[in-house]
Amino acid sequence: MTTTAAPATAPFRFFDVQVVRALRVSTSVVRITFGGERLDALASGGRDQRFKLFLPQPHQDRPVFDDTGDGWYTAWRAQDPAERPVMRSYTIREQRHEPREFDVDFALHGAGGGTPSTAGGPASRWAAAARPGDRLTVLAPAVEDNGGIDFRPPAGTDWILLTGDETALPAIAGILSWLSPGTHAKVWIEIDHEDDRQHLPTFADADITWLVRDGAGAAHPEPVLSAVRAAKLPEGTPYAWIAGEAGTVKALRRHLVRERGIDRGAVKFTGYWRRGATEEDLIAELMAGAAAPSDED
C-alpha cells in the first residue's frame, strides 16, 4: 500500500511561499492560495499532484531548516523536533500562472470554527488560522511529469473508478478535470456536510455520488465502502484510484480485488490519513518497515 510518508523524489524543489488569501469554501474545507517569488519554477502535473508542506512551529514566524539541499531529509530528521518544521502531505488543487499562485484545499477535521485549539492537527490548525502574509515552505515539483502523480491509467482502460473523502477531494477534482472527453467514470466522495459538495468541472462522462456523513459517525461507518459494495459496476476494464482514511482505503481495495475481481495492478490506493495517527506516527511506521505491503492487503 502506498503510504503517506515517503520523502518526495526529484525533481522536486523547495519553495518559500506566503499566504495570499484564505477562503472558507465550506464547513469542512478552507482554500489557501499561496504566492511566492520563485513560483514560475513550480510545475504541477495536475491530477493527484502531491507535495510536502513544512509548517513553522507555533513560536516561529517561518519554518526553520538546517539544510534544504539534497540531504534535507536526514538533516530534517536530525533537527530538534521542537524546532524543526512540521511536515505534511497535501495536493495542489490548482496552479495558475498569471498571477503565479497555487491553491491547496485543507480539510479542517475539527480545527477552527470555535472548537478548542487541540482539535485537528498542526496542519489543519494552521490552515484554520492562516492569514495573508503567513509563511511556510513547500517541497513541490519543478517539472510536470514527476513522481508525485499516482493517477496513471494504462492504455486499454475502459472506465475509471474514483473514491475519496474531503482530503482526496482536491485530487479527485484534479483527476476529473484531466480526463479525456467521454471517459466513463464512477465516483464516490464522502463528505462531512452537505455544503462540502464542490462543483467538479469535467469533460468525462462522470457519475458522481456524494455521501454526506452529517454526524452519522459510528451508526454508518465507511459509507463509501457500503456504497461501492452495493453498486453495479460497468463492464470492461477498470482502473481504480482510491484515497482517504487508511482503514477504509484498505477495505475498499480488498473488496475491489477479491470480490470484484479487479486486477490488483489496476487499483491505485493511498491512505491519506489514519484515524488516531498523526503523520509523524505514519512516518515512524514507514521507517520501521511496518507499512510494507503484503499479499494479504
Ligand X SMILES: Cc1cc2nc3c(=O)[nH]c(=O)nc-3n(C[C@H](O)[C@H](O)[C@H](O)COP(=O)(O)OP(=O)(O)OC[C@H]3O[C@@H](n4cnc5c(N)ncnc54)[C@H](O)[C@@H]3O)c2cc1C
Say whether residue 121 binds ligand X (CB under 6 A): yes
Say whether residue 186 binds ligand X (CB under 6 A): no
Residue 151 Cβ vs ligand X, minimum distance, rounded to whole Å: 11
* Among residues 52, 84, 88, 186, the one that binds ligand X under rule CB under 6 A: 88
Say whether residue 33 binds ligand X (CB under 6 A): no
Report d(CA 58, CA 89) in Å as an integer: 19
Say whether residue 116 binds ligand X (CB under 6 A): no
Report d(CA 129, CA 126) in Å as an integer: 5
Q: What share of the chain is helix, strand, coil (3-state, %, to 5)?
A: 25, 30, 45
Report d(CA 47, CA 118) in Å as an integer: 32
Say whether residue 211 binds ligand X (CB under 6 A): no
Give the footprint of ligand X on residues 1-20 (CB under 6 A): 4
76, 83 contact by CB (below 8 A): no
Say whether residue 213 binds ligand X (CB under 6 A): no
Nearer to ligand X, 111 or 206 (CB): 111
The SS3 of residue 273 is strand
Say whether residue 34 binds ligand X (CB under 6 A): no
Residue 88 Cβ vs ligand X, minimum distance, rounded to whole Å: 5
Say whether residue 275 binds ligand X (CB under 6 A): yes
Say whether residue 123 binds ligand X (CB under 6 A): yes
Provide the grid cell at 127.
490552515
Counting beta carbons within 10 angstroms of the beta carbon of residue 78, is it exposed (0 to 12), middle (13 to 18) or buried (19 or more)?
Answer: exposed
Nearer to ligand X, 51 or 159 (CB): 51
Provide the grid cell at 277.
495517527
What is the per-residue binding string for ligand X in 146-185, x denoting contact by CB under 6 A? Answer: ---------------------x--x---------------
Counting beta carbons within 10 angstroms of the beta carbon of residue 264, is it exposed (0 to 12), middle (13 to 18) or buried (19 or more)?
Answer: middle
* Among residues 30, 186, 273, 283, the one that binds ligand X under rule CB under 6 A: 273
Strand order in the sheet with 12-24: 86-91, 50-55, 135-141, 12-24, 29-35, 101-107, 94-96
Instruction: Please tell me what DSSP assigns to residue 25.
Output: -
Give the footprint of ligand X on residues 40-59 (CB under 6 A): 50
Residue 229 Cβ vs ligand X, minimum distance, rounded to whole Å: 22
Residues that bind ligand X (CB under 6 A): 4, 50, 88-91, 104-107, 109, 120-124, 167, 170, 270, 272-279
